[in-house]
Structure 1
Amino acid sequence: MDSHILETFPVSYSYSDFTNWSKEVTGSHILTCAPANQQELLAVVNWAYKNNYHVRPVGMKHNWSTLTIANGDNNSSVLLVDLTKKLTKVSITKEGEHGFVTAQTGIAMQTLMTELEKQKLGFYATPAPGDLTLGGVLAIGGHGTCIPAAEEALAEGGSYGSVSNSIVSLSAVVWNAQSGEYELKTFKRDDAEIAAFMVHVGRALIFEATLQVPRNRRLRCQSYVNVPAKELFAAEDSGQRTFTHFLEQCGRAEIIWFPFTENPWLKIWTLEDHYPVTAKPVNAPFNYPFSDNLPVQISDLIKKINNGAPEFTPDLGKAQMELVSIGLGATLSGDLWGWSKDLLLYVKPSTLRVTANGYAIITRRDNIQRVLNDFAVKYEEMVSRYKERNSYPMNGPIEVRVTGLDKARDSTVANAVTADLSAIRPVDDKPEWDTAIWLDILTMPDTPDANKFYHEMETWIYSHFSGDYATVRVEWSKGWAYTDQAAWAADEVMSKEIPQSFGGSWQHARDVLDKYDPHYLFSSPLINTFFNSEK
């Protein structure tokens, strides 16, 4: 690196290493800074432009896909801009029972939700980790699990979609051709161009966002470990303990199904303003300590698997589910009651590091059970077939969540638009499709045959959930576009399946983002690939 270039760097800097959450994406000795305010942020961005650097905003690095940097050492022209150190200001205003929060994008979601709770405000659903930045969540359309329960009405300021669907306005760093430099520009929710920035997959830098937030509610979270997978994933008309049955009851549910076990860990969240006497009241998040720290029995099994004994994978799945069953009882956490933040945040950084693929299946609500049954049958068939070859590529659980779509009518802003690149934006010619089923399959990094399994599963998912039944979109933060060797590498998925799944909104997003960043300053090799840019 030319040291003379750095003599003009406008703020203090250092060199840092980058490691993502699953430790599969790494980079070393990358130029890094932490601007303290809007002026410093613009100064470093314009320095990067003049000196041919790419600007990569950095939050908590809790991401699987290589949207931020390329994996490896080819990051000499990358400037990491750490938003978490100083760009964390937040302010809240109330309008009746709901309100609006304006926050800089380096703020952690746990901190943001804590501040909202003080003002009696809280989101319907959020991602489970607290160590995510607001900017990171908005970049990829972060979500939780939530659809309306039977006869539940949407509260003012609420949304059944992603966190991005709560955006009222945002300020992005954009190119000004007249001045020849990057500056801040505010986009409001009724501006057609904001659609490209609300979920931008790392192709933009958002400095600040204002979000609508409904009144806070207390939730009751009940865990069940006695409902067999064959009932939860049963065909639509088979029995009373299907996943759909629980969704009708409460609208908020999650399945965690460990491999080679019969009963998943089912969690359901119910709106419950009054204390249920059988529940345990909680006043802080992360109430499943048994899932945050692995006992020796499980770590020993992981070592055996990693040391060339994959046949222990069924034992690992059973041990993990046994840990959940025993842990729920030992910590009295099978029935919890508290404010939304304390029950929606439940994944700590210390939990087992796994890799995951991720897809949103968009369909009608009355198709949920059919989708899950089809998927579970395929998954079990594949696991059984690989096992016959003494191959155990999937040693982590299946995770299932369900949300509504990012509907513009949920916004408090008249004539609001929908995020172009949200995985759960409505499908243009399918207004009856109102639900997204999020499917993730987890496994430990570098497990033999994992990418081969993912490639086969992804091929089936795209072919099966198509036509008048459903459609598929990738979950940006996870793994997708698999070949037998790697994720984010299948040309057909990158160049055809992904763009086509968004219809005309894909080109709109690309045009707007190119307009406001024609130099691809905010980009990475992966982003360049699926936007077909050589820059």
Structure 2
Amino acid sequence: MENSNLKDFPLGSYYSDITNWSKEISGSHILTCAPKNEQELLSAINWAYENDYCARPVGMKHNWSPLTIANGNNNGNVLLIDLTKEIKKVTIKKEGESGYVTAQTGVSMQQLLTLLEKSKLGLYATPAPGDLTLGGVLAIGGHGTCIPAVGETLSEFGSYGSVSNSISALKAVVWNSETAQYELREFKRDDPEISAFLVHVGRAFIYEVTLQVPRNRRLRCQSFVNVPATELFSIEGDSQRTFSHFLDQCGRAEIIWFPFTEKPWLKIWTLEDKYPKTSKPTNGPFNYPFSDNLPVKISDLIKKINNGFPELTPALGQAQMEVVSIGLGATISTDLWGWSKDLLLYVKPTTLRVTANGYAIITKRSNIQQVLHEFAEKYESMVGEYQKINSFPMNGPIEIRVTGLDRPQESVVANAVAADLSATAPVDDKPDWDTAIWLDILTMPDTPDANKFYSEMEKWIYSHYSGDYATVRVEWSKGWGYTESSAWSDKQVISQEVPKSFGAGSEKNDRWQHAHDTLFKYDPHYVFSSPLLDMLFEKSN
């Protein structure tokens, strides 16, 4: 039922539908507005508070988890605030070869990185899609793949962690109890309370941020399709083609491993200011057109699998890898060289829409190879067991990336604090844990037994990567908290495992409680929330 007070809505409004990236979360006929400035934004949020609505920022909707809205039709008390129309101004200030960018959160990553490039600035690790808003990336601790190569020193104003670790200041919409209104407030990186806002999971509303940005660099991106998974994930012998070896060599690597194939697609990025003669220069992003559009052969296989022929899944995995191998050669893109933006953005909206689980394994760098070896063994054994009963729940690739942690020492702000809720936040009693290994398994939505497989894998991940070996944190934007029927519904994970991974119950530094209390202080009315966030942050009815 529509609210009778809509005639009092302070700016132009309309109704819109929302569908997320994998098309698994949708809502229809939701009240929406697109404020032009700070005043209109605050008017809309205060109206939402006064009329018992949730105010949810909406960007590119490139997200898997229901952090913005609940799936289905129960969104009658939701106000979507579209920041992509007007709230996207960018100001860049150089400081020597490095600099600062102050950006409103509706700007897309592609727009932001393009503007930075024009000022000879750039990030060396970012999420792969260009159609993400800056606000969306920061809300969930968006990241790329980047740790220091052997002998590499951190660039001035650089960071090996998530994009959020580059924040030096931000402006958030917060509750003022004296005026009984929501208003803008600036937080600096040395303010203990900013730690709750740096990665807020949608439980806050960020209007503008200032990021430190290093000078732009050229990267070289090489693709390999000839290294067997057995060698990439090996822990025996002295192979020069293990994943750890590639990380030592260049610090930036990604594996895309299609099911039922022997050789993954391995990409490595090297900081390379001088043009390597064997590379192909590139002057724009999205250099893998073969992965952006579905060939008929693959779409036909998907249709057959969906129509009762799951045993064709191995053929699908092999066909997908074949497209990559042939496509790399046909487009001469096995060895590319260009500015950072052009080699880090490579996923278009036309890419196959898949669902994905996501976890960060926090451990020390020397454990990377062991972690991946054990994960690959577990994955293959599970796939084999399901195959025996003619079940093929995983028909998309495994994606593996590695980053550093969100170390506040990398901030140019003295006495900077770490993000409370970043999956890559440091682990306080483990100073030698310096690495996050990101594990994602992709499959098509509604694949039979997928949630069962994810649930089984999740339980193994939590039990195996524990103790003095590693700890597990969820990747906020992906799937987690699985039961055999759905994601984000395992109460043990939501109420115990997730809070515990951020220090809940710790006497020394309970990041979870600090974030909970700070976000509640500045939004005691849960205007910035959703049903999943209500569960996570224990909203009482």
Is TM > 0.5 for Structure 1 vs Structure 2?
A: yes
1:463-496 Cα offsets, whole Å, 9 max, x none, are 0000000000000000000000000000100000
Q: Which residue in 1 is equivalent to 2:106?
A: 106
Q: Which residue in 2 is equivalent to 1:377?
A: 377
Say whether residues 1:468 and 2:468 are aligned partners: yes
Taking the aligned partners of 2:38 and 2:452, their CA distance within structure 1 comes to 45
Does the 8 A contact of 2:2 with 2:76 survive in 1? Answer: no
Say which SS state the counterpart of residue 466 (structure 2) adopts: coil
1:157-206 Cα offsets, whole Å, 9 max, x none, are 10000000000000000000000000000000000000000000000000
Taking the aligned partners of 2:235 and 2:355, their CA distance within structure 1 comes to 29
Q: Which amino acid aligns with 1:527?
A: L
Q: Which residue in 2 is equivalent to 1:398?
A: 398
Counterparts in 2 of 1:127-142, with a 5 A limit?
Answer: 127-142=127-142
Counterparts in 2 of 1:74-89, with a 5 A limit?
Answer: 74-89=74-89
Q: Which amino acid aligns with 1:430?
A: K
1:46-100 Cα offsets, whole Å, 9 max, x none, are 0000001000100100000000000000000000000001101000001111100
Taking the aligned partners of 2:240 and 2:101, their CA distance within structure 1 comes to 41
Say which SS state the counterpart of residue 113 (structure 1) adopts: helix
Q: Structure 1 residue 2: deviation in Å?
A: 4.9
Q: Structure 1 residue 240: deviation in Å?
A: 1.7
Does the 8 A contact of 2:225 with 2:265 survive in 1? Answer: yes
Taking the aligned partners of 2:281 and 2:490, their CA distance within structure 1 comes to 48
Does the 8 A contact of 1:231 with 1:238 survive in 2? Answer: no
Q: Structure 1 residue 534: deviation in Å?
A: 2.6
Q: Which residue in 1 is equivalent to 2:62?
A: 62
Q: Which amino acid aligns with 2:536?
A: F
Does the 8 A contact of 1:281 with 1:336 survive in 2? Answer: yes
Aligned equivalent of 2:532, options 514, 521, 526: 526
Taking the aligned partners of 1:3 and 1:490, their CA distance within structure 2 comes to 33
Taking the aligned partners of 2:89 and 2:467, their CA distance within structure 1 comes to 46
* Aligned CA distance change for structure 1 residues 2 and 491 (closer, same or farther; 3 Å): closer
Taking the aligned partners of 1:95 and 1:134, their CA distance within structure 2 comes to 22
Q: Which residue in 1 is equivalent to 2:160?
A: 160
Q: Structure 1 residue 532: deviation in Å?
A: 1.2
Does the 8 A contact of 1:236 with 1:370 survive in 2? Answer: no
Does the 8 A contact of 2:101 with 2:210 survive in 1? Answer: yes
Say whether residues 1:513 and 2:513 are aligned partners: no
Q: Which amino acid aligns with 1:436?
A: A
Taking the aligned partners of 2:400 and 2:199, their CA distance within structure 1 comes to 22
Q: Which residue in 2 is equivalent to 1:329?
A: 329
Q: Structure 1 residue 235: deviation in Å?
A: 1.3
Does the 8 A contact of 2:162 with 2:406 survive in 1? Answer: yes
1:392-413 Cα offsets, whole Å, 9 max, x none, are 0000000000000000000000
Q: Which amino acid aligns with 1:296?
A: V
Q: Structure 1 residue 3: deviation in Å?
A: 5.7
Say which SS state the counterpart of residue 8 (structure 2) adopts: coil
Q: Which residue in 2 is equivalent to 1:348?
A: 348
Say which SS state the counterpart of residue 399 (structure 2) adopts: strand
Q: Which residue in 2 is equivalent to 1:415?
A: 415
Taking the aligned partners of 1:534 and 1:236, their CA distance within structure 2 comes to 52
Taking the aligned partners of 1:532 and 1:111, their CA distance within structure 2 comes to 37
Q: Which amino acid aligns with 2:328?
A: L
- Aligned-residue sequence identity (percent) comes to 74
Which shifted more, 2-11 or 106-115? Answer: 2-11
Does the 8 A contact of 1:236 with 1:369 survive in 2? Answer: no
Say whether residues 1:217 and 2:231 are aligned partners: no
Q: Which residue in 1 is equivalent to 2:507?
A: none
Q: Which residue in 2 is equivalent to 1:44?
A: 44
Q: Which amino acid aligns with 1:393?
A: P
Q: Superposition RMSD on alpha carbons, in Å? A: 0.7
Instruction: Tell me how many residue pairs correspond in the alignment.
Output: 535
Taking the aligned partners of 2:277 and 2:269, their CA distance within structure 1 comes to 16
| TM-score of the superposed pair, with normalisation by structure 2 | 0.98
Say whether residues 1:479 and 2:479 are aligned partners: yes
Q: Structure 1 residue 383: deviation in Å?
A: 0.3
Q: Which residue in 2 is equivalent to 1:240?
A: 240
Q: Structure 1 residue 243: deviation in Å?
A: 0.1
Taking the aligned partners of 2:31 and 2:88, their CA distance within structure 1 comes to 21
Counterparts in 2 of 1:2-401, with a 5 A limit?
Answer: 2=2, 4-235=4-235, 237-401=237-401
Q: Which amino acid aligns with 1:529?
A: M
Does the 8 A contact of 1:30 with 1:78 survive in 2? Answer: yes
Say which SS state the counterpart of residue 27 (structure 1) adopts: strand
Say which SS state the counterpart of residue 266 (structure 2) adopts: strand
| TM-score of the superposed pair, with normalisation by structure 1 | 0.99
Q: Structure 1 residue 238: deviation in Å?
A: 4.8
1:20-43 Cα offsets, whole Å, 9 max, x none, are 010000000000000000000000
What are structure 2's unaligned runs of at least 5 residues?
504-509
Taking the aligned partners of 1:390 and 1:410, their CA distance within structure 2 comes to 50
Taking the aligned partners of 1:446 and 1:407, their CA distance within structure 2 comes to 38
Structure 1 stretches of 4+ moved >3 Å: 1-4
* Aligned CA distance change for structure 1 residues 533 and 238 (closer, same or farther; 3 Å): farther
Q: Which amino acid aligns with 1:518?
A: P
Does the 8 A contact of 2:254 with 2:268 survive in 1? Answer: yes
Q: Which amino acid aligns with 2:420?
A: D
* Aligned CA distance change for structure 1 residues 3 and 336 (closer, same or farther; 3 Å): same
